[in-house]
Amino acid sequence: MIRFLFSTAAVAALALSVSAQAATPTAAEARKIHDGVLTLDTHLDTPANFGRPGWDILDRHDAAKDGSQIDYPRMVEGGLDGGFFAIYTPQGPRTPEATRAARDGALVRGVEIREMVARHGDKFGLALTADDAAKIKAQGKRVVFMSVENSYPMDGDVTLLSAFYAMGVRISGLAHFKNNDMADSATDKPEWGGLSPLGKQFVAEANRLGVVLDGSHSSDQVLDQLIALSKTPVILTHSGCKAVFDHPRNVDDERIKALAASGGVIQVDAYSSYLIETPKNPEREAAMAALMAKVGARNKMTEAQRAAFLAERNAIDAKYPVPKATFEDFMNHLNHALKVAGVDHVGIGLDFDGGGGVTGLNDASDYWKISQRLLAEGYSREDLAKIWGGNVLRLLRAAEAARAPAD
């Protein structure tokens, strides 16, 4: 009798195992589910390529040859419907003259985004509201939202945010690698203890306009204050989990929970040195600094100059190799965020064309792999719809609803 009971239990366990395996979608099934949801990446640095001589988003590029990771053919190949194209400005001197130059550069970058959409209107559509995204996808086009990374161009006047809003910006960050007049950076020494007085005005202006505030790159204290001060939920457009790897750019579990409790969202990045430990190498850093100083503005390179730059950078990588994160490392951060915050408060922001990219997840053709893995781990189509676009669109709708009436 005992033998019979054990045998029955074994058969039941085997049946459950077979059932679980049968429930796991095939690659083709996973891809069909992926293509059926609206897929948005909240941090695409691709506009940095728009001013490159001879570079066209309709051409299929190779990251190994020219460094670019996002283009139309690979978006189609990987099943990326679109995302937030960033107006990125590196932090420079905090002087009126430098700030004005940053403002002008950021406005030019915004115009380049608009021009790209206008030039390729049969392939891309500009999204100004949350509801626009589904409409553009239904037209068979890729979705282009606009965002600002680093508020440095607006340090001289927070009301400049209204000009960027009119251009199409719907998400804006505060700081980048260094502190600015708005806020402390996660990778700089504390100066303001979070937001500056001007930064707090910026929060109010963003709320008035209906712009979602982005805490990525800003200090932990900035995130705390954004959650406390903003009238609508805030976002981390490209961040990781400190519990998985303790890096200043990553967020601890307590803050991830606070972000979720306030309705906010963390979008997980694929930036290798934020995902895993990368040992310091002074010789490598000196060689890279010398190379960068020699080449100057990379977006102004000819294709021949870019090829020469990449060859020199590859030589440095070969001479001073560093560990590179993998798809598994990325999934460790994503799964941890999902465990801590829940599917209503997590999304994807890989930081492609801005330093992101890991082994197995290195350009736009790879996006669908994330859905394949999540489905294999038991997440549903409805879960994927939230992670890939539903959560960030919820934040946009909240900002739109709270926007002050036009005068």
pLDDT at residue 12 greater than cutoff 70? no
Kindly state whether residues 180 and 299 are assigned to the same domain. Answer: no
Kindly state whether residues 208 and 297 are assigned to the same domain. Answer: no
Kindly state whether residues 197 and 302 are assigned to the same domain. Answer: no
pLDDT at residue 283 greater than cutoff 90? no
Q: What pTM was estimated for this model as a whole?
A: 0.91
Kindly state whether residues 252 and 305 are assigned to the same domain. Answer: no
| pLDDT attached to residue 19 | 41
Q: Which two tokens stand for residue 233?
A: 């939920």
> In whole angstroms, what is the distance from residue 300 CA to residue 44 CA?
19
Q: Which of 187, 361, 168, 399 is nearest to 268 (CA)?
A: 361
Taking only the tens place, the pLDDT of each residue in 50-91 is 998 889 999 999 998 889 999 999 999 999 999 999 999 999
Confidence category of residue 15, pLDDT binned at 50, 70, 90: very low
pLDDT at residue 406 greater than cutoff 80? no
> In whole angstroms, what is the distance from residue 183 CA to residue 176 CA?
9
Helix (H, G, I), strand (E, B) or coil at 124: strand
Kindly state whether residues 150 and 284 are assigned to the same domain. Answer: no
Q: How many domains does the chain have?
A: 2
Is 21 contained in some domain? Answer: no
Q: How many helices and strands, by DSSP H and E, does the chain display?
A: 17, 9
Kindly state whether residues 332 and 318 are assigned to the same domain. Answer: no
Is 165 contained in some domain? Answer: yes
HSE-CB at 123 with a 13 A cutoff on CA atoms is 16
CATH code of the domain in which 394 resides: 3.20.20.140
Kindly state whether residues 54 and 74 are assigned to the same domain. Answer: yes
Give CA torsion, residues 17, 20, 22, 27, to 10 deg.
-130
Is 48 contained in some domain? Answer: yes
Contact in structure between 365 and 60 (CB atoms under 8 Å): no
Taking only the tens place, the pLDDT of each residue in 125-136 is 999 999 999 999
Is 92 contained in some domain? Answer: yes
> In whole angstroms, what is the distance from residue 248 CA to residue 239 CA?
10
Is 34 contained in some domain? Answer: yes
> In whole angstroms, what is the distance from residue 161 CA to residue 154 CA?
7
Q: Which amino acid is at 21?
A: Q
Is 3 contained in some domain? Answer: no
Of 287, 322, 357, the residue at which a domain comes to its end is 322
- Between 66 and 169, whose confidence is greater? 169
Phi, psi of 112 (to 5 degrees): -65, -35
Is 105 contained in some domain? Answer: yes
| pLDDT attached to residue 319 | 87
Of 266, 300, 322, the residue at which a domain comes to its end is 322
| pLDDT attached to residue 11 | 43
| Residue-range definition of the domain harbouring residue 135 | 27-275+326-402
Is 10 contained in some domain? Answer: no
Segment 13-35 shows an average pLDDT of: 71
Lowest mean pLDDT among 26-35, 178-187, 284-293, 373-382: 284-293
The long-range contacts involving 210-213, CB below 8 angstroms and separated by at least 24 positions, are 210/165, 210/170, 210/399, 210/400, 210/402, 210/403, 211/161, 211/165, 211/169, 211/170, 211/171, 211/172, 211/399, 212/170, 212/171, 212/172, 212/395, 212/396, 212/399, 213/171, 213/172, 213/173, 213/174
Give CA torsion, residues 215, 221, 225, 226, to 10 deg.
0
Q: Which two tokens stand for residue 66?
A: 């020219």
Kindly state whether residues 353 and 375 are assigned to the same domain. Answer: yes
Kindly state whether residues 225 and 124 are assigned to the same domain. Answer: yes
Kindly state whether residues 227 and 345 are assigned to the same domain. Answer: yes
Kindly state whether residues 167 and 53 are assigned to the same domain. Answer: yes
Q: Does an H or E element contain 147, and which?
A: strand 142-149
Kindly state whether residues 199 and 98 are assigned to the same domain. Answer: yes
